């Protein structure tokens, strides 16, 4: 490509970063929601088409089938939960922690797809990899793994923020180094500094929120939205600084749920009241593939909470009328989490970054059409992409929660299919950096 034209595109992207940051500053939730609903599906479709023409950056012709199968399995389980079809499949995925296992397996397998050509080596390595991941992320290790930041990153952040921000940045950096583009490197400076300024150096007024009812309802999306993602990030990194919960909060929650929750005179909880509590908590939305630390089901959740309130004899224990850590209330503190996510300083800071990362992720893709050339496809395929995109837009317009459910396969699978490209970008950055260090910044003659 003409160097001047490439420079113009890079400078355009710096401008897009600034515009994205402005939108994320004033309307963080709406900026994310509109970008995800209307730019997201077009990005998924065009990127999958582009990846397909490049064999998904894999050494083997059929490597991508492994990633595709993982996408189908995860999507079917999510679909079963959202639409009440074959719910036992979803329950099995939860019980066996298959959401996390399959995602991590797909990511690690992509290293082989991107770097190894020998089929026998790949098959043997993949089998060993599957055994390793199954053991590492087995339900028996859930207590140990729940506090691991590495596992949280692999299972919760890779398909979300790491995909849209870190992997996007690596792809951009690889392109800038490969073309020896100074404007490309300047673009990378903006990519780092603009969101840092947006998050840490712009004023936040928690009492004056621009959040609309549409934004609030769509972000929660009847429990299927991204509300849970924010909660899990804030919780895992201990960013919640609100007053801790007490037993009074627990009783208030129970009363609000219209549960007749009375303790016997000797302060022992009855089985009947426990059953009522279990039934109420089972109605609370829960997406284990979005919240790694969220208890996997209502029984597990209730048992753990009751252990904190009652000793093994059923008597009220150490937390009686004393502060309770916020993590214990995960799952039935919707109002508390809502106030933190929508109206706290840390909640708004996080949402501004999420909005910037997603919006710019899409804008960067479309702004570099002439570089990536994703539009150079047969007319019939291009027409199909447009039709599918319009259909996806209608789903989101009609009901945001329905749109998330219907588009889950497309959104999640495009993340999986991109994994080999992410590996290629990382390796490419290493090679180009070494070349620059040893031979200088001037691009080698072809």
Q: Do 251 and 351 belong to one domain?
A: no
Give the residue-averaged pLDDT of 8-33: 96
Q: Do 23 and 129 belong to one domain?
A: yes
Q: Do 42 and 155 belong to one domain?
A: yes
Q: Do 129 and 32 belong to one domain?
A: yes
The pLDDT of residue 340 is 86
pLDDT tens, 239-292? 876 544 444 555 555 445 444 444 434 444 455 555 555 454 444 333 333 333
Q: Do 18 and 121 belong to one domain?
A: yes
The verdict on residue 446 lying in a domain is no
**Over 70: is that where the pLDDT of 297 sits?**
no
The verdict on residue 105 lying in a domain is yes
Question: Distance of CA 157 to CAs 168, 375, 435, Å?
Answer: 14, 29, 31
Mean pLDDT of the chain: 82
**Over 60: is that where the pLDDT of 125 sits?**
yes
Mapping DSSP onto H, E and C, the string for the chain reads CCHHHHHHHHHHHHHHHHHHHHHHHHCHHHHHHHHHHHHHHHHHHHHHHHHHHCHHHCCCCCCHHHHHHHHHHHHHHHHHHHHCCCHHHHHHHHHCCHHHHHHHHHHHHHHHHHHCCCHHHHHHHHHHHHHHHHHHCCHHHHHHHCCCHHHHHHHHHHHHHHHHHHHHHHHHHHHHHHHCCHHHHHHHHHHHHHHHHHHHCCCCCCCCCCCCHHHHHHHHHHHCCCHHHHHHHHHHCCCCCCCCECHHHHHHHHHHCCCCCCCCCCCCCCHHHHHHHHHHHCCCCCCCCCCCCCCCCHHHHHHHHHHHHECCCCCECCCCCCCECHHHHCCCCHHHHHHHHHHCHHHHHHHHHHHHHHHHHHHHHHHCHHHHCCCCCCHHHHHHHHHHHHHHHHHHHHCHHHHHHHCHHHHHHHHHHHHHHHHHHHHHHHHHHHHHHHHCCCCCCC
Q: Which two tokens stand for residue 91?
A: 């329950």
The pLDDT of residue 164 is 97
The verdict on residue 117 lying in a domain is yes
Q: Do 350 and 413 belong to one domain?
A: yes
Rounded Cα gap, residues 95 and 89, in angstroms: 10
Q: Do 322 and 359 belong to one domain?
A: no
pLDDT tens, 299-325? 334 444 444 454 444 444 444 444 444
Best CA proximity match to 1, nearest among 368, 323, 414: 368
Give the range of the structural domain holding residue 10, as residue numbers without chain letter: 3-203+344-439
The verdict on residue 211 lying in a domain is no
pLDDT tens, 176-189? 999 999 999 999 99
The verdict on residue 45 lying in a domain is yes
Binned at pLDDT 50, 70 and 90, residue 225 comes out as: confident
Rounded Cα gap, residues 248 and 226, in angstroms: 29
Q: Do 85 and 192 belong to one domain?
A: yes
**Over 60: is that where the pLDDT of 327 sits?**
no
Question: Distance of CA 289 to CAs 77, 157, 353, Å?
Answer: 10, 11, 21
The verdict on residue 170 lying in a domain is yes
Give the residue-averaged pLDDT of 206-222: 84
Q: Which two tokens stand for residue 227?
A: 């509300």
**Over 90: is that where the pLDDT of 332 sits?**
no
The pLDDT of residue 44 is 97
Q: Do 166 and 112 belong to one domain?
A: yes
**Domain tally, the chain:** 2
Where a domain ends, among 279, 302, 337?
A: 337
Binned at pLDDT 50, 70 and 90, residue 326 comes out as: very low
Q: Do 253 and 390 belong to one domain?
A: no
Residue 220 or residue 111, greater confidence: 111
- 251-260, 291-300, 353-362, 419-428 — which is least confidently predicted? 291-300
Q: Do 285 and 252 belong to one domain?
A: yes
Where a domain ends, among 337, 364, 386?
A: 337
Q: Do 92 and 33 belong to one domain?
A: yes
The verdict on residue 261 lying in a domain is yes
The pLDDT of residue 281 is 44
pLDDT tens, 160-181? 999 999 999 999 999 999 999 9
The verdict on residue 382 lying in a domain is yes
Where a domain ends, among 311, 337, 363?
A: 337
Rounded Cα gap, residues 317 and 312, in angstroms: 9
């Amino acid at each position: 490509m003409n160097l001047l034209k490439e420079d113009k595109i890079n400078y355009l992207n710096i401008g897009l970063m600034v515009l994205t940051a402005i939108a994320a500053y004033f309307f963080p939730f709406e900026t994310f929601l509109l970008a995800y609903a209307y730019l997201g599906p077009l990005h998924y479709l065009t990127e999958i088409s582009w990846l397909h023409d490049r064999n998904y950056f894999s050494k083997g012709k059929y490597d991508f089938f492994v990633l595709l199968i993982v996408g189908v399995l995860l999507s079917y389980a999510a679909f079963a939960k959202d639409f009440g079809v074959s719910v036992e499949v979803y329950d099995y995925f939860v019980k066996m922690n298959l959401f996390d296992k399959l995602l991590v397996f797909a990511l690690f397998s992509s290293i082989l797809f991107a770097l190894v050509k020998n089929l026998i080596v790949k098959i043997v390595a993949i089998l060993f990899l599957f055994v390793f991941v199954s053991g590492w992320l087995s339900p028996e290790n859930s207590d140990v793994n729940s506090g691991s930041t590495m596992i949280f990153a692999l299972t919760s952040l890779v398909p979300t923020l790491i995909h849209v921000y870190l992997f996007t940045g690596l792809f951009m950096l690889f392109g800038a180094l490969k073309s020896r583009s100074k404007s490309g490197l300047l673009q990378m400076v903006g990519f780092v500094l603009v969101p840092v300024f947006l998050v840490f150096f712009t004023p936040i007024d928690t009492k004056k929120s621009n959040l609309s009812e549409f934004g609030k309802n769509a972000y929660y999306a009847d429990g299927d939205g991204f509300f849970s993602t924010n909660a899990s990030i804030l919780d895992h990194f201990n960013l919640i600084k609100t007053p801790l919960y007490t037993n009074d909060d627990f009783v208030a929650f129970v009363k609000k749920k219209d549960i007749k929750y009375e303790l016997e005179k000797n302060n022992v909880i009855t089985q009947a009241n426990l059953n009522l509590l279990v039934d109420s908590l089972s109605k609370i939305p829960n997406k284990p593939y979005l919240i790694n630390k969220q208890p996997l089901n209502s029984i597990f959740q209730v048992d753990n909470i009751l252990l904190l309130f009652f000793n093994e004899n059923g008597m009220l224990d150490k937390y009686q009328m004393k502060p309770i850590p916020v993590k214990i209330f995960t799952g039935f503190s919707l109002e508390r989490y809502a106030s933190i996510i929508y109206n706290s300083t840390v909640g708004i800071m996080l949402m501004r970054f999420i909005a910037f990362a997603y919006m710019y992720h899409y804008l960067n893709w479309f702004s570099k059409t002439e570089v990536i050339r994703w539009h150079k496809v047969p007319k019939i395929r291009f027409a199909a992409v447009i039709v599918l995109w319009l259909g996806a837009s209608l789903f989101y317009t009609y009901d945001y929660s329905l749109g998330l459910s219907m588009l889950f396969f497309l959104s999640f699978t495009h993340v999986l299919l991109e994994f080999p490209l992410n590996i290629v970008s990382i390796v490419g950055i290493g090679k180009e950096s070494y070349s620059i260090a040893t031979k200088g910044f001037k691009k080698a003659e072809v």
